[in-house]
Chains A and B, each alone.
Chain A
Amino acid sequence: MRLVVLPQLIRIALPGLSNLWLILLKDTALVSAIGLPDIIRQAYIAARVTQEAFLFFGLATLIYLVLAVISSFGIGAIERSVQQQDARR
């Protein structure tokens, strides 16, 4: 399972899973609507207090962008580690 099935399984499932991961990452922004103190909610509060909405929402957007970039690096690393086993065959 660990050495034979899993690497092949990940190779096939990874594109779908990484898509799902990125979509979910963006959907977490919606929890601010029900009052959870996530990035957007904190930005909203900061913007209301300081009256600098563009700065804080821009910052929140950039944080999401950085998270997406980091996850795409992580996904790339997993992809390479699975492909190496393919090449070693």
Chain B
Amino acid sequence: MSVTADTQRPPAPPRPWTRARIAGHVVLGLWAVAGAGMVWFLVSAWDPGFFAKYIPWYASGLLTTVILVVISIVLGALLSLPVAYARMSRSGFLSAIAYGYVYFFRGTPLLAQAFLIYYGSGAFRAEFEAVGLWWFFREAWYCAVLAFTLNTAAYQAEILRGAIESVPPGQWEGAASLGLHNLQTLRKIILPQALIVALRPYGNEIILMIKGSAVVTLITVYDLMGMTRRIYSSSFDFQAYIWAGVIYMVLVEGLRYATEWIERRITIHLHR
């Protein structure tokens, strides 16, 4: 079927100004006004002294946030392997334990978990001192890392399980008929396909952790949010919070682009 150059498209149907369309434009206009107002506020409140004084504060907070997220994502990824394995195992006991673990950490707020570990560990001070672990639970930083690691391990185990189960069972059977044993099958056949599925959720999880990491402020770790609070209480300048928001947004946007780039790279064989 050839399309000649003089093929005429039918004229686009007229788009009437329905009530919904007008409402949409009005709402969009309000957002634009709000955004312009924010930019105008930042421009009018521009103060070189503010930046000269507080950029090191922001930098140290940002560093704390990034280190916290990186450490807990990596440790959580390691911990999620046995959890995902137990969750998928045929043994009812193992999978029940893993399910309980995942349910607990996904069903309760991260803030409550952090409080429970940081303040709650004080109740067992004598026991922790007896086994020589008190130095760990005394520091807010270690408690934050522990809470975040346990939390993200639960989420990552679910991501991993979902991704592995999304690979059709025929792949396992085909590999078995070729004489590959289970571990080889998992590493060379299942995981490469599962990781394509898991990439987006992993990116989401890292983004959620970055935003979630703001709660460590409440257990006295000075991350980006904590430093912002200090900046606000020392400068009484509301723009402190806006700049923190901008920094978080840049972080998340960068991660989003990175995930998209990786996804383009690893699905190159699926595009034509």
Interfacial chain B residues near A33, Cβ < 8 Å: 111, 215, 217-218
Decide if A21 is an interface residue (CB 8 Å cutoff): no
Give the complex CA separation of A32 and B114 in angstroms: 14
Q: Which of B29-37, B115-123, B175-183 contacts A (4 or more CB under 8 A)?
A: B115-123
Give the complex CA separation of A64 and B121 in angstroms: 20
Asked if B111 contacts A32 (CB within 8 A), the reply is: yes
Decide if B206 is an interface residue (CB 8 Å cutoff): no
Task: Report, as a range, how many residues of chain B touch the other chain.
Answer: 20 to 34
Name the residue in B108, B109, B119, B121 with the highest tally of chain A Cβ atoms < 10 Å from its Cβ: B109
- Contact count A vs B, C-beta below 8 Å: 67
What distance in Å separates the Cβ of A22 from its nearest Cβ neighbour in chain B? 8
Q: Among residues 109 to 157 in chain B, which have CB atoms less than 8 Å away from a CB atom of chain A?
A: 109-113, 115-116, 119-124
Give the complex CA separation of A28 and B110 in angstroms: 11
Decide if B16 is an interface residue (CB 8 Å cutoff): no
Interfacial chain B residues near A68, Cβ < 8 Å: 107-108
What distance in Å separates the Cβ of B116 from its nearest Cβ neighbour in chain A? 4
Decide if A30 is an interface residue (CB 8 Å cutoff): yes
Asked if A26 contacts B110 (CB within 8 A), the reply is: yes
Interfacial chain B residues near A78, Cβ < 8 Å: none
Name the residue in B104, B124, B217 with the highest tally of chain A Cβ atoms < 10 Å from its Cβ: B104
Interface string of B94-108 (1 = CB under 8 A from A): 000000000110011
Give the complex CA separation of A40 and B116 in angstroms: 10
Asked if B124 contacts A61 (CB within 8 A), the reply is: no
Asked if B111 contacts A40 (CB within 8 A), the reply is: yes
CB contact between A26 and one of B104, B109, B217 (< 8 Å): that residue: B109
Asked if A30 contacts B111 (CB within 8 A), the reply is: yes
Name the residue in A43, A52, A61 with the highest tally of chain B Cβ atoms < 10 Å from its Cβ: A61
Give the complex CA separation of A81 and B115 in angstroms: 39
- Given contacts A54-B120, A57-B119, A57-B120, whether A69 and B107 have CB atoms under 8 Å apart is yes
CB contact between A60 and one of B110, B112, B215 (< 8 Å): that residue: B112
Asked if A54 contacts B124 (CB within 8 A), the reply is: yes
What distance in Å separates the Cβ of A56 from its nearest Cβ neighbour in chain B? 9
Give the complex CA separation of A44 and B104 in angstroms: 20
- Given contacts A29-B112, A68-B108, A69-B107, whether A47 and B218 have CB atoms under 8 Å apart is no
What distance in Å separates the Cβ of A62 from its nearest Cβ neighbour in chain B? 8
Asked if A65 contacts B107 (CB within 8 A), the reply is: yes
Decide if A55 is an interface residue (CB 8 Å cutoff): yes
Give the complex CA separation of A57 and B109 in angstroms: 11
Interfacial chain A residues near B113, Cβ < 8 Å: 61
Asked if A29 contacts B111 (CB within 8 A), the reply is: yes
Which residue numbers of B lie inside 8 Å of A, CB to CB? Answer: 103-104, 107-113, 115-116, 119-124, 215, 217-218
Which residue numbers of A lie inside 8 Å of B, CB to CB? Answer: 22, 26-30, 32-33, 39-40, 43-44, 47, 52-55, 57-58, 60-61, 64-65, 68-69
Apart from A28-B109, A55-B123, A57-B112, 6 more pairs, CB < 8 Å: A26-B107, A30-B215, A54-B119, A61-B108, A61-B116, A69-B107
